[in-house]
Amino acid sequence: AQSVTQLGSHVSVSEGALVLLRCNYSSSVPPYLFWYVQYPNQGLQLLLKYTTGATLVKGINGFEAEFKKSETSFHLTKPSAHMSDAAEYFCAVSGTGNQFYFGTGTSLTVIP
């Protein structure tokens, strides 16, 4: 079975500061991992994904994430936060079972 844990339901950073959103997964098979962003009153938009290959994955809007199998982690980072990054972020894992398992989400606030 697969599951995802997102540490920190709320994260606040200053504009221009590093963004770090944490995600740990549990999977009995090699996982496929995803980060989604949800802006207010909108659907989920894919930021980036890891399936196979390079463990450092670059996504849209300057975000990237690193798959670390030994730590079962897939943390999302961005070097410099912008006001427009304020949103809800979801980590997800998929594998056998044919469904996506989402974390509980992390609300990112960017302080001007």
Partner 1 sequence: DTAVSQTPKYLVTQMGNDKSIKCEQNLGHDTMYWYKQDSKKFLKIMFSYNNKELIINETVPNRFSPKSPDKAHLNLHINSLELGDSAVYFCASSQFQGVTEAFFGQGTRLTVV
Q: Which residues bind partner 1 (CB under 8 A)?
A: 32, 34, 36, 38, 41-46, 49, 51, 88, 90, 94-100, 102, 104-105, 107
The answer to whether 25 touches 79, Cβ cutoff 8 Å, is no
